[in-house]
Amino acid sequence: MTAAFSRLWAEIAPIGRDSAGGYLRYALSEPELILRDWFRNQADRRDMTVTDDGNGNLFAWWGRQWGPGTVLTGSHFDSVPHGGGYDGPLGIVSAFLAVDRLRAAGVTPARPIAVAAFVEEEGGRFGLPCLGSRLLTGAIDPDSAAALCDAEGVTFGEALGDRPAGALPALASRVGAVVELHIEQGRALAVPVGVASAIWPHGRWRLEFTGDGDHAGTTRMADRHDPMLTFADTVLAANEEARLAGALATIARVSVQPNATNAIPSLVRAWLDARAADTATMERLVDTIVKRAVNRAARDGTQVVVEPESASPEVAFDTTLAARLSALLGDAPILPTGAGHDAGVLSAHVPTAMLFVRNPTGISHSPAEHASDSDCAAGVEALAEVLKELAGPS
C-alpha cells in the first residue's frame, strides 16, 4: 500500500505548489480546479459516478447516489495560503485508495460509499471556513454564501458560476455515517492512526482600528492617533490572555492603509482566531481581548470596531462510533483537536467520526506539514477497515 500511496500522492504533489514547498490552493482557483478535474478523473478510472451538489462539493459514488445508509468519506482540496499539502487532500487520496483496497479484497458494500471533495474548508478565499459543508447542511443560507467576497471582490456565487443550491434535505435520512481522514495537526499522536473525540469551539473576528493618517516626518509623537499602536497592543493582549485562559488566540492576518513607510496609518484591519476547550472560555477570552483593545484605543485616541466573521461550535463526535472504530483499529488512541473540519459541521446531522494520521513534527498550515508515506498507507488501511465496517453487511 505504501507504494500505491506514494504513486497517487505524487500525481497531485506539484499542483499549486509554491517555490518554498507550500501550497496556494484557494477554493475554485486554478490549482483547485485542476485538482477537481483530477478528482473526476480518479472517479472515472474507478467507474465511480461524480455528482455535484450545486454548492461546489463533489461526490464520487460507489453504489447508488444518496442511497439509504450512504457512508460519506473524503475531505477538501483547498489550502490556507502557502500551507501544507496534507491538510485536506490526504483524506481524498486515502478515500480513493481505500476503495481500491476494498475492491481488491472482493468487498461489496451493502450501502453506498461516497468520496467527497468539500469546497472552501479553510475559508482562505471567502473568509468562512467549512463553507461547502455549511451549505450542504443548511448552516448558511445560499444568498449569504453567494455574497461572500474574496480579496479581489469576486463573490462565491461568481466563482461558483451560480447561486449555491443550499441544503440537501435528505442528508440526515440518506447518510448513515461520515468518516473524514485527516493529518493530525498537533503533536498528540504517537502511533500511525488515531480517532477523533472532539473539536474545540473556535471563531474568527475582524478588528478594525482607525486613527488619523498623517505624515511620519512632520507629526509630533504627542499629536499622533496611530491605530498601529492600538493594534500592536491588542496582539500582545490576545497572546497574554490566551495563555492565562489555557486557550488559543492568534492574530496572523493584517492589512494596513495606506501601508506606506512614511505615513502614519489611518486604518489597521486584523483578524483574530480564538479557540478554547469550551465555548464559555472562548467567549470570555474574546471579551477580555476586546475590552483591552477598547481601553488601549481610548489611550491612543483611536477607535476599534469588532465584527464576528465565523463561529464553529464545540463538536463532540459520536462517542459510541469513536469507541467502535478505535476497537476495530486495535485500540487506536482517541484524541481531541483544536482544528476545524467539515466532519465537525456534518456531525450535527449524521453520526460522524474522524481518523487522524500521525504528524511527526505536529506542524500544520505550513509548508513543513508532513506525514510519512508508511503512516499514510496505514491510514488508508484503517479507512478501508472502517468503510467496510460502516458500509458492509450488518
Smaller CB distance to ligand GLV: residue 308 or 330?
A: 308
Strand order in the sheet with 248-257: 248-257, 267-275, 202-210, 303-312
Give me the least distance between CB of 339 and ligand GLV, in Å please. 4
Number of residues that bind ligand GLV (CB under 6 A): 4
Interface with ligand GLV, residue 176, by CB under 6 A: no
Give me the least distance between CB of 365 and ligand GLV, in Å please. 7
Give me the least distance between CB of 343 and Mn ion, in Å please. 9
Smaller CB distance to ligand GLV: residue 24 or 228?
A: 24
Considering CB distances under 5 to 8 angstroms, the limit depending on partner class, which of Mn ion, ligand GLV, none binds residue 50? none
Gap between the Cα atoms of 324 and 329, Å rounded: 9
The secondary structure of the chain in percent helix, strand, coil, rounded to multiples of 5, reads 35, 25, 40
What cell does 89 get?
487532500
Smaller CB distance to ligand GLV: residue 75 or 302?
A: 75
Q: Which residue has the cell 480517532?
A: 195
Interface with Mn ion, residue 88, by CB under 5 A: yes
- H-run or E-run covering 227: helix 227-245
Name, in order, each residue with C-beta under 8 angstroms of 275's C-beta and a sequence gap of 6 or more.
Answer: 200, 201, 202, 203, 247, 248, 249, 282, 338
Beta bridge partners of 177: 71
Number of neighbouring beta carbons within 10 Å of residue 149: 15
CA 42 to chain centre: 23
Smaller CB distance to Mn ion: residue 87 or 241?
A: 87
Gap between the Cα atoms of 178 and 207, Å rounded: 35
Interface with Mn ion, residue 87, by CB under 5 A: yes
Give the residue, chosen from 340, 346, 355, 391, that forms a contact with ligand GLV under the rule CB under 6 A: 340
Side-chain-side CA neighbours of 185 within 13 Å: the count stands at 22
Q: Compute, in degrees rounded to 10, the torsion defined by CA atoms 208, 214, 217, 220.
A: -90
Number of residues that bind Mn ion (CB under 5 A): 2
- Which string of x and - marks every residue 28-67 that binds Mn ion (by CB under 5 A)? ----------------------------------------
Interface with ligand GLV, residue 129, by CB under 6 A: yes
Give me the least distance between CB of 121 and ligand GLV, in Å please. 7
Give me the least distance between CB of 338 and ligand GLV, in Å please. 7
Closest CA to 75 of 115, 107, 113: 115
197-231: b (≥16 Cβ within 10 Å) or e? bbbbbbbbbbbebbbebbeeeebeeeebbbbbbbb
Considering CB distances under 5 to 8 angstroms, the limit depending on partner class, which of Mn ion, ligand GLV, none binds residue 88? Mn ion
Smaller CB distance to ligand GLV: residue 251 or 339?
A: 339
Give me the least distance between CB of 351 and Mn ion, in Å please. 20
Considering CB distances under 5 to 8 angstroms, the limit depending on partner class, which of ligand GLV, Mn ion, none binds residue 84? none
First to last CA, the chain: 27
Interface with ligand GLV, residue 122, by CB under 6 A: yes
Considering CB distances under 5 to 8 angstroms, the limit depending on partner class, which of Mn ion, ligand GLV, none binds residue 340? ligand GLV
**Do residues 60 and 115 make contact, with C-beta atoms less than 8 angstroms apart?**
yes
Smaller CB distance to Mn ion: residue 81 or 333?
A: 81
Give the residue, chosen from 145, 339, 350, 377, that forms a contact with ligand GLV under the rule CB under 6 A: 339
**Do residues 39 and 59 make contact, with C-beta atoms less than 8 angstroms apart?**
no
- Which string of x and - marks every residue 54-73 that binds ligand GLV (by CB under 6 A)? --------------------
Smaller CB distance to Mn ion: residue 22 or 88?
A: 88
Smaller CB distance to ligand GLV: residue 28 or 183?
A: 183
Smaller CB distance to ligand GLV: residue 43 or 248?
A: 248
Q: Which residues bind ligand GLV (CB under 6 A)?
A: 122, 129, 339-340
Q: Which residues bind Mn ion (CB under 5 A)?
A: 87-88
